[in-house]
Chains A and B, each alone.
Chain A
Amino acid sequence: DAGVTQSPTHLIKTRGQQVTLRCSPKSGHDTVSWYQQALGQGPQFIFQYYEEEERQRGNFPDRFSGHQFPNYSSELNVNALLLGDSALYLCASSAGWGPNEQYFGPGTRLTVT
């Protein structure tokens, strides 16, 4: 049973560029959440997708957008990258809508230079 997978593992981008991160949820899960974790801090909630719609959003600008596909996989897009966007981006999946237990992927390390 595959857990949550994320790609790529590492990514280096230049300021102003755009980036797309990908996540496949754990088998049987249909809800995907994205988090940003800066060095030395706890993860910060970006948004959550269920039934291909963004259901909740944290305090992040519109430069951060996402998508969920019919197979429940998800993408996180960040436009006009800033140096401050450098972080570990974590994807978590859960079963069904509601405050259910979340399972996290290994993360994508994004470095903006």
Chain B
Amino acid sequence: KQEVTQIPAALSVPEGENLVLNCSFTDSAIYNLQWFRQDPGKGLTSLLLIQSSQREQTSGRLNASLDKSSGRSTLYIAASQPGDSATYLCAALKTSYDKVIFGPGTSLSVIP
């Protein structure tokens, strides 16, 4: 059974810092790994999608990497801004027709 964990559960950093969020999954036979952002009480916004054949994806100040052999994905945020404050969730989709398994999320607070 696929399990997804995220460390840390919460993170508070000063504005301008570079930071790394971690996501671990127990079953390395995943199809893709997707990172989302969720603002309080709102829906999920897709940030980056990494296919199993890929190692990383980049969008602006965000970079996500995927290491299937170790069951890990990291989300790197460069030069953090107060507007980055939100909960970040990773989700692993195993093989075709399987459901998406979400991690519990990392709550990020960027202090001005």
The answer to whether B49 has its CB under 8 Å from any CB of chain A is yes
A104 contacts B44, CB within 8 Å? yes
Report the nearest B residue to A50, measured CB to CB.
B97
Interface string of A64-95 (1 = CB under 8 A from B): 00000000000000000000000010101000
The answer to whether A109 has its CB under 8 Å from any CB of chain B is yes
Size bin of chain A's contact surface: 20 to 34
Query: Among B42, B100, B102, which residue has its beta carbon within 8 angstroms of that of A107?
Result: B42
Interface residues contributed by chain B, number (CB under 8 Å): 27
Query: Among B4, B31, B34, which residue has its beta carbon within 8 angstroms of that of A102?
Result: B34
The answer to whether A25 has its CB under 8 Å from any CB of chain B is no
Q: Which residues of A contact B76 (CB under 8 A)?
A: none
B46 contacts A103, CB within 8 Å? yes
Q: Which residues of B contact A106 (CB under 8 A)?
A: 42-43
- The total of interchain contacts (Cβ-Cβ below 8 angstroms) comes to 64
The answer to whether B45 has its CB under 8 Å from any CB of chain A is yes
Report the nearest A residue to B52, measured CB to CB.
A99
* Separation of A105 and B100 alpha carbons in the complex (Å): 16
Interface string of A7-37 (1 = CB under 8 A from B): 0000000000000000000000000010100
A42 contacts B104, CB within 8 Å? yes
The answer to whether B58 has its CB under 8 Å from any CB of chain A is no
B43 contacts A45, CB within 8 Å? no
B95 contacts A104, CB within 8 Å? no
A90 contacts B44, CB within 8 Å? yes
A101 contacts B99, CB within 8 Å? no
For the complex formed, measure the closest distance between the CB of A31 and the CB atoms of chain B, giving whole angstroms.
11
Instruction: List the 5 closest pairs (A to B, CB-CB), nearest first.
Output: A42-B102, A104-B44, A99-B93, A45-B99, A106-B43
Of the A-B pairs whose beta carbons lie under 8 Å apart in the complex, a sample of 30, sorted by A's number, is A4-B43, A33-B100, A35-B102, A40-B104, A41-B105, A42-B89, A42-B103, A42-B105, A43-B44, A43-B89, A43-B102, A45-B99, A45-B101, A56-B98, A58-B99, A90-B43, A90-B44, A98-B97, A99-B31, A99-B32, A99-B97, A99-B98, A101-B32, A101-B46, A101-B49, A104-B44, A104-B45, A104-B46, A107-B41, A107-B42
